Amino acid sequence: MKKFWISLSLLAIAAVSLSQLSKYKDWAKSPEAYFLTPAEKTEWAALHSDEEAEKFIASYWAKRGGQRFKDEVTRRINAADEQFKSSHVRGALTARGRVLIVLGGPSRVTTERAQVSGESAPGSAPGGAFEQEPFVQTWTYDKTKFDPSWGIGELHVRILVEPQRGSDQVQGAAPVEKAIATVAEKSITHPGASAAGATAGNAAPPAPGAAGASAAPASGNPPAAAVVVLPAAIRSALETAAKENATAAGTFWGGPFHDAAGEPFYSFELSIPADRVPGGGVKFGGLVTGESGQEVASYWEDARLSELKSGKRTDKVFERSVALPPGTYRAAFGLFTPDEATALASASAAFRLEGKSTDFAVSPLILSNTVTPLSKRPGPKDPFVFGSEKPVHVSPKDTHLFGKDESLWYFFTVTNPQLAAPAAATPSASSAPTSTTPGAAAAPSAGDAKPRVMTRIGVLRNGQPAFAPFTGPAELQLLSPGYYAAGSEIPLASFQPGYYTFTLNVRDLNAPHDSAAFKGIDLKEDFVVLNADGTVPEKPAPVAPTPKPKPPAKKG
């Protein structure tokens, strides 16, 4: 009984203290205060005046990095107000709004109808709307979304939404509340900061709910759900890029891939010269529309850049995957300065994502000079990462530039080749590139059924054969059942500076002879071998087509 009366006394004291606040009386209940720690809540409850509250709030922001952190929280609040608003409650005050503001955008979102009369029907609306029927959204945060040292791991947030009531509620909230508490605690990056330190000049902290730079996976950011509101200037720039259907040369590469389970996604890379990267960081913006022109996804987030060398040139690259349902899409992507004033790079792309299939298929051809083994298990849709037990990251050369002292790696994956009993190996020429694809699971043993995939490799210079084509079996490495990878290294020391095209034909020799798989799938990618001093060689003059001979004049 004594403890009970003590608790009531403490509550009474807190009520008396807060009753003296007027301007900031309800601040602790606002979305801005979602990052309050238990200690800060206790401190807030002991305040006696608006002047003290004002100093507390300024210190609250300063301890989290100052104006930049506040701006990011404000952006998320605006996004929540826009995405989850109803006639009953402000969007930022909903359960989904709180999760978005603290944890950030999820890696992916799935939606299904809530249980009705004992039945459940799956849904596919990306925005989670089934007219006025209750539905359940599951927000999944990949384990790479947060700093591994925080101990959050992969997080699944199930949210029951009831549109008619204008309400939503997190189901099984304990792990979600624990994650929110952890992120709130870790948001304090400057614990000794005071109100005086809350200036825009402070170093930018990690975005709230995001892993720190040191914890970023080598493969880049995981996919995020389309739950953001694009700034007006960024939306205008992306819409213009999509309309003009133009990409600056050497700044973009992208292609459709699928994960081990067969789910499709689109991976891309944007790059800018290292000397163009501003000191305040870089932001990524993206806008994706469907076949009928409707917007299906938008992105506005901090861009984590990695380094890629081409001869003596150094570029900063941003890689990302976009996970969408099967379909045809058009997208515009860009890298921008944080103040939204300058577009550092932009690109548009049209692509199609195919659903799960049993047909023979070959991924886009990747040309690279950097293949990096990874020490951590990747996410299923990490961009340009292949394998799970011994994964590797293959950095596409979107600049298409290679130094003579480098090697060119060509890399591709094969899906659903037909299997047959082991057969004698096809002899290969001594000039064949040595296949050393790292990072894959062990290939099937000699007694297992296995695919027979043949490749024909060619190199053109200025449109003419530079070397004799090579035909030989692909040395496939198993990634998962029915999914294989192949890659080889070609030293460029013997290549003269110039403009080249790498061609590849991939055939399934176990397929029926009248099938497209047996005839082969053709792939090609252009590349440039730089001069010895690292400069780009001059483009050759276009060769005029040889005129066709005139037919002889008819007699008589």
Domains and CATH numbers, the chain: 20-197 (no CATH), 229-356 (2.60.40.10), 359-422+433-538 (2.60.40.2550)
Q: Answer whether 54's CB lies under 8 Å from 24's CB.
A: yes
Rounded distance, CA 459 to CA 48, Å?
77
Q: What is the pLDDT of residue 132?
A: 60
Confidence at residue 209, expressed as pLDDT on a 0 to 100 scale? 64
In contact, 209 and 150? CB cutoff 8 Å: no
**What's the distance, CA 172 to chain centroid?**
28
Of 394 and 125, the structure prediction assigns the larger pLDDT to 394
Asked whether 517 and 509 are in contact (CB, 8 A), the reply is: no
For residue 108, name the pLDDT band (cuts at 50, 70, 90): confident
Give yes or no for residue 323 having a pLDDT over 70. yes
Tell me which range, 214-223, 365-374, 442-451, is most confidently predicted by mean pLDDT.
Answer: 365-374
Percentage with pLDDT > 70 across the chain:
78
The confidence score (pLDDT) of residue 528 equals 94
- The number of angstroms, rounded, from the C-alpha of 35 to the middle of its chain's C-alpha atoms is 26
Among all chains, which residue has been given the structure tokens 């402000």? 90
Residue 42: CA atoms inside 13 Å, Cβ hemisphere, count? 4
Using a 10 angstrom Cβ sphere, with 0-12 exposed, 13-18 middle and 19 or more buried, the burial of residue 107 is buried
Q: 445 pLDDT band (50/70/90 cuts)?
A: very low
pLDDT at 134 over 80: yes
CA-to-CA distance for 465 and 457, rounded, in angstroms? 11
**Of residues 395 and 222, which shows the higher confidence score?**
395
Cα–Cα distance measured from residue 195 to residue 53, given in angstroms and rounded to the nearest whole number:
11
Question: Do residues 490 and 407 make contact, with C-beta atoms less than 8 angstroms apart?
Answer: yes
Query: Which of 79-88, 143-152, 504-513, 527-536 is predicted least confidently?
Result: 79-88
- Helix H or strand E segment including 239: helix 232-244
What residues contact residue 435 under an 8 Å CB cut-off, 6+ apart?
Answer: 474, 475, 486, 487, 488
**Which two three-digit tokens encode residue 416?**
């659903």
User: What pLDDT does residue 275 have?
Assistant: 87
Give the lowest-confidence range in 10-14, 353-357, 459-463, 550-554: 10-14
CB 417 within 8 A of CB 455: no
Convert the pLDDT of each residue in 142-190 to its tens digit. 888 888 889 999 999 999 988 878 889 999 999 999 999 999 999 998 8
Band of pLDDT at residue 399, cut at 50, 70 and 90: confident
pLDDT score of 447 more than 50: no
pLDDT on residue 247: 66
Instruction: Over range 401-429, report the average pLDDT.
Output: 77
Q: Answer yes or no: is pLDDT of 546 > 70.
A: no
Query: String of b and e for 234-245 (b: at least 16 CB within 10 Å)?
Result: bbebbeebbeee
Q: Is the pLDDT of residue 347 over 80?
A: yes
pLDDT at 9: 41
Rounded mean pLDDT, 15-44? 83
In this prediction, residue 548 carries a pLDDT of: 66
Over residues 358-362, the mean pLDDT reads 94
